[in-house]
Amino acid sequence: MGMGLHEWPLMFFTVIGQSVAGAFIIMGCAILSGKLPEALNRKVHYSMFGLWLLMGIGFLLSMIHMGTPMRAFNSFIRFGHSSLSNEIASGATFFALGGLYWLISVLNKMPAALSKLWLVVVMILAVLFITAISRVYQIDTVPTWYNGYTTINFVLTSFIGGPILAALLMRIAGFNLNCISALPLLSVIAIIISAIVATSQGFELGSIQTSVQKAVDLVPDYGFLMGIKLIALTLGLACWIAPLLRKNNPSVSLMVLGFILVFVGEFIGRGVFYGLHMTVGMAVVG
Phi, psi of 214 (to 5 degrees): -110, 145
Q: Give the pLDDT confidence of 89-123 residue by residue, as tens digits.
A: 899 999 999 999 999 999 999 888 899 999 999 99
Interval 76-95: pLDDT, tens: 565 555 777 888 889 999 99
Beta bridge partners of residue 209, listed in sequence order: 214
So what's the pLDDT on residue 212?
A: 77
Q: Report the alpha-carbon distance of residue 164 to residue 183 in Å, rounded.
A: 9
Give the C-alpha distances (Å, rounded to integers) separating 209 from 200, 221, 281.
17, 17, 10
Rounded to an integer, the average pLDDT of 164-191 is 97
Average of pLDDT values for 193-214? 91
Cβ atoms of 142 and 83 within 8 Å: the answer is: no
46 Cβ neighbours under 8 A, 6+ residues apart? 106, 173
Asked if 236 and 260 touch (Cβ cutoff 8 Å), the reply is yes
Confidence of residue 286 (pLDDT cuts 50, 70, 90): very low
Residue 284's pLDDT is what? 42
pLDDT in tens, 224-279: 999 999 999 999 999 999 999 999 999 999 999 999 999 999 999 999 999 999 88
Q: According to the model, what pLDDT value does residue 167 have? A: 98
Paired strand residues for 10: none
Q: Which residues of 32-47 are buried (b: 16+ CB within 10 A; e: fewer)?
A: eeeebeeebbebbbeb
Q: In whole angstroms, what is the distance from residue 37 CA to residue 18 CA? A: 29
pLDDT band at 187 (very low <50, low <70, confident <90, very high): very high
The answer to whether residue 73 scores a pLDDT higher than 90 is: no
Q: What is the Cα–Cα distance from 269 to 274, expressed in whole angstroms?
A: 9
pLDDT band at 1 (very low <50, low <70, confident <90, very high): very low
Compute the distance between CA of residue 207 and CA of residue 214 in angstroms, rounded to an integer.
Answer: 8
Instruction: Answer for the pair 27, 180: CB distance below 8 angstroms, yes or no.
Output: no
CB atoms within 10 A of CB 178: 12
d(CA 152, CA 20): 17
- Which pLDDT score, from 0 to 100, does residue 285 have? 40
Mean pLDDT rounded to a whole number for the chain:
90
